[in-house]
Amino acid sequence: MTKRFSFDLKATDGKARTGVINTPRGEVRTPAFMPVGTAATVKAMMPESVRATGADILLGNTYHLMLRPTAERIDRLGGLHKFMNWERPILTDSGGFQVMSLAGLRKLTEKGVTFKSHIDGSKHELTPERSIEIQRLLGSDIVMCFDECPALPADRERIAESMRLSMRWAERSREAFGDRPGHALFGIMQGGLEQDLREESAEALRKIGFEGYAVGGLAVGEGQEAMFGCLDYAPDFLPVDKPRYLMGVGKPDDIVGAVARGIDMMDCVLPSRSGRTGQAFTRHGVVNIKNARHADDPRPLDENCSCPACSNYSRAYLHHVFRSNEMISGMLLTWHNLHYFQEIMQGMRDAIAAGTFEAWQAEFHAQRAQGDI
Ligand SMILES: O=c1[nH]cnc2cc3nc(NCc4cccs4)[nH]c3cc12
């Protein structure tokens, strides 16, 4: 890994930015959407198909991979890129969030978290040091600090304590990461919806120094209005010359609103998870393809979409294969949703570069009918 990790800001339009993250495994065009590849696969997609949708980078989950097949086994087999046949950049999260939302019998202390596997009940421990080691064994290009995301609703004192624990863990994560040219460690800002705690968290992270900064603690049920309210100030507390990553977001209009407020990268299970359940995102709104009204509809999902599902199949066919629970159903709709999410990202990158982001946003919202179509 001789080449370095760097972020080139190309243009801004209002608070929106477009640029390129340079890594030894390839470039990531921002604003970027990362498909989620939880257990070393973007579910229902071949890696080459994920690339065909326009993705430059994937997300991998430390929690899932440490339990099965374990980070040591993936390391012995040449690392996650080789293992899952995706040679472009991979960002791995640190596992803390999944432990709190998936594992059983969790015990949280200053040291870290002990928990029981949701797969077989075996006991495990995650600490900043262990999380960073797991992400190194996986060969991750962008490593996330081990943090604690407080469950909401929580009172201000709990949010402050949790944030300060995460900042101490960020220090330990930085220490454990060591010197890995071409690789990046991102800090994660916490602080709930409290502006002063968000600023305190950002200051703590800047003092430690990271190659990128995530806004954590959002998309945990607070709703779009509260999330946007926080994003109206939180990104501005972060360094302007480093990537800003909003974790776990989101629906198309969440993504557009976040980019308009200065976010550069996002990840969400929504397009892939909902693709498997028959929910299609289109420029005119959401289509629930299992609904009986699609049974005889010869039209494509979206006339303006060039993905394989829209190019080669009718709504009637998609309806049929979902109703028959055929495997191709999840494959086609996942491909469509990921293609559409990447089309939104490309549209924003072009508009920000051209200085027409306002107009692009107006068109994006005007096209979307209310409710199902
Ligand atoms: O503060 C965080 N720290 C580390 N990982 C996260 C992941 C996150 N994912 C969501 N929302 C999407 C969700 C996925 C599953 C349940 S909510 N919010 C998130 C916040 C954090």
Give pLDDT tens digits for 237-291: 999 999 999 999 999 999 999 999 999 999 999 999 999 999 999 999 999 999 9
Mean pLDDT of 81-87: 98
pLDDT of 91 > 60? The answer is yes
* Mean pLDDT of all residues belonging to the chain: 97
Tell me the percentage of the chain whose pLDDT exceeds 70.
Answer: 99
| Most informative mutation of 159, 220, 222, 273 for ligand 1 (most atoms within 8 A of CB) | 220
Atom of ligand 1 nearest to the CA of 101: 16
Confidence bin at 18 (pLDDT 50/70/90): very high
Determine the length of the chain: 373
Q: Are strands 123-126 and 285-288 parallel, antiparallel or unpaired?
A: unpaired
SS3 39: coil
Ligand 1 atom having least distance to the Cα of 94 = 4
Closest approach atom of ligand 1 to CA 188:
3
Is residue 56 annotated as a catalytic residue, yes or no? no
Residue located nearest, by CA, to atom 17 of ligand 1: 220
**Closest residue to atom 4 of ligand 1, CA basis:** 97
Atom of ligand 1 nearest to the CA of 218: 18
- SS3 for 363? helix
Amino acid code (one letter) for 353: A
Q: Which two tokens stand for residue 368?
A: 């979307």
Please give the number of the atom of ligand 1 that sits closest to the Cα of 221.
Answer: 17
Angstrom distance (rounded) from CA 120 to CA 106: 15
pLDDT band at 295 (very low <50, low <70, confident <90, very high): very high
Task: Please tell me the distance between residue 216's alpha carbon and the centre of ligand 1 in angstroms.
Answer: 7
Query: For atom 14 of ligand 1, which residue has the closest CA?
Result: 248
Separation of CA 59 and ligand 1 centre (Å):
12
Contacts of 48 (CB under 8 A, 6+ apart): none
pLDDT of residue 104: 86
C-alpha to C-alpha distance for 124 and 103, rounded to whole angstroms: 10
Annotate 42-51 with b (16+ C-beta within 10 A) or e (fewer): bbbbebebbe
- C-beta pairs of 43-46 under 8 Å, 24+ apart in sequence: 43/272, 43/273, 43/276, 43/330, 43/334, 44/272, 44/275, 44/276, 44/327, 44/330, 44/331, 44/334, 45/272, 45/331, 45/334, 45/335, 45/338
Protein residue with least CA distance to atom 13, ligand 1: 248
pLDDT digits over 159-169, tens only? Answer: 999 999 999 99
The rounded Å distance from CA 157 to ligand 1 centre is 21
> What is the pLDDT averaged over residues 212-219?
98
| Shortest-distance Cα residue to atom 5 of ligand 1 | 97
Q: Is the pLDDT of residue 1 over 80?
A: no
Q: Taking Cα atoms as reference points, which of 357, 308, 358, 351 lies closest to residue 328?
A: 308
> Mind listing the pLDDT tens digit for each residue in 326-368?
999 999 999 999 999 999 999 999 999 999 999 999 999 999 8
DSSP 152-170: SS--HHHHHHHHHHHHHHH
Residue to probe by mutation, ligand 1, list 61, 131, 143, 247, most atoms within 8 Å of CB = 247
Query: Ligand 1 mean position to 12 CA, how many Å?
Result: 27
Among 63, 99, 146, 149, name the best residue to mutate to test ligand 1's pocket (greatest count of ligand atoms within 8 A of Cβ).
149
Contact call for residues 372 and 33 (beta carbons, < 8 A): no
Ligand 1 neighbours by CB, cut-off 6 Å: 93, 97, 101, 147, 149, 188, 216-217, 219-220, 247-248, 269
**Model confidence at 370: pLDDT above 80:** no
170, 177 contact by CB (below 8 A): no
**How many other β-carbons are positioned within 10 Å of the β-carbon of residue 206?**
16
Mean pLDDT over 189-194 rounds to 98
* Residue percentage of the chain with pLDDT more than 90: 96
pLDDT at 2 over 60: no
241 is catalytic: no
> What is the ipTM metric for this complex?
0.98
Residue nearest to atom 3 of ligand 1 (CA): 216
Q: Note the Cα 48 to chain centre separation in Å.
A: 19
Map residue 370 onto helix, strand or coil.
coil
Which residues neighbour 19 within 8 Å (Cβ) at sequence distance 6 or greater?
Answer: 7, 8, 9, 10, 11, 29, 30, 243, 264
For residue 371, what pLDDT is reported? Answer: 61
Helix, strand, coil in percent for the chain, rounding step 5:
45, 20, 35
Contact (Cβ atoms closer than 8 angstroms) between residue 247 and residue 186: no
Ligand 1 midpoint to CA 359 (Å): 31
Ligand 1 atom with the smallest distance to the CA of 147 is 3
Q: pTM value?
A: 0.98
Dist CA 325 CA 184 (whole Å): 41
User: Which tens digits make up the pLDDT trace of 28-52?
Assistant: 999 999 999 999 999 999 999 999 9
Given 56, 93, 147, 264, the catalytic residue: 93
Q: Is the dihedral of CA 275, 279, 285, 287 positive or negative?
A: positive
**Neighbour-count burial of 54, counting CB atoms closer than 10 A to its CB (0-12 exposed, 13-18 middle, 19+ buried):** middle
